[in-house]
Amino acid sequence: MNMPNTPLHNHPQGNDSSPWQGAGRRVYLHEVGLRDGLQMEKVFVPTEEKIALANALSAAGFAKVEVTSFTSPTAIPSLRDAEIVMREIERRPGTVYSALVPNARGAERAIEARTDELNLVMSVSSTHNLANLRMTQAQSFAALAQVVALAQDAGVAVNVSLSCVFGCPMEGDVPAADVWAWVQRFVDLGVPGITLCDTTGMAYPSQVHQITAAARARWPGVAFTLHFHNTRGMGLANALAALDAGADRLDASLGGLGGCPYAPGASGNVCSEEVVHALALMGFDTGVDLPLLLAAAQQLPALIGHDIPSQIAKAGPRLALHPVPADFEAIRERALSR
């Protein structure tokens, strides 16, 4: 299979962009597989392999890499090596190295390990927040407000990921007014970045377009990221809907790894290499080198002990050509002799 490191398609130059023609428009991709993906795996990926994967993702050109999570090792044993990994990765200029932190102690650990950005999580669904985080929303907000203050004092960036924006697996649709209220509370704390998360793959394109456009209109100074899962096969369609509504930041996961313990049957996050491949074909500029990314994704099955959802890792890009059949000339001669 031939996989040349060449443009996937030729695109006309122009200033107008749409979901179908990016016209060189920049999209910033945030790789979350090392955290959101590996935390769901039953096997412990060796520390040196995590570091190598992080370095490969940096070399591929991601705008942000969520490296790990500074949670309790008993809660997420697969990421118990957070400090070592964050300290020993190679840092590429232009890439932000992020980590999920659940509380002030996790924030202190992350800051000590030279994390560029703290990613904080709570749910806009009260039921999901209690089931997932074992806290009420008020308790979560109070804890995260402490972390925001700690990070601001240390001069470290903060992003808040709001879960279940597009639906809760236990409550159903979450009222938009609830979503906007939580965004506003974090904006009032001075948080510059908010991720709108489709935590369990309940989002659909027209809903994504409406919510993304409304959020950007209400808070034009906030850096909104969209986070999708491919649970019901709509991850890429939702990403395109978000881009059409003006989004320029997307989370994605190497190999399509990920999931959620509160969504039975849920598959992983939208797949990084599938997003990069699709956006490149449509003329968007992600800054990500697809062959390098595919090489990283193709290492995953051996590391985690099972196949990955990524279709591009199996099939290759659309111009990954195959040789003709060995008896092609004989086929031609028979055809011409008829």
Which residues are catalytically annotated?
260
* Tokens coding 21: 């023609």
Q: Write the DSSP string, 163-231.
A: ETTT-BTTTBSPPHHHHHHHHHHHHHTT--EEEEE-TTS---HHHHHHHHHHHHHH-TTSEEEEE-B-T
Nearest-angstrom CA–CA distance, 107 and 126: 24
Pair of tokens at residue 91: 């840092």
122 in Cβ contact with 140 (< 8 Å): yes
Nearest to 32 by CA among 56, 61, 54: 54
Which residue bears the tokens 């090596």?
81
**Which residues lie below 8 Å from residue 126, measured CB to CB, with a gap of 6+?**
136, 137, 171
Q: Which of 222, 269, 231 shows the shortest CA–CA distance to 250? A: 269
Query: Hey, how many other C-beta atoms are within 10 angstroms of the C-beta on 185?
Result: 15
If one counts every other C-beta atom within 10 angstroms of the C-beta of residue 116, the result is: 17
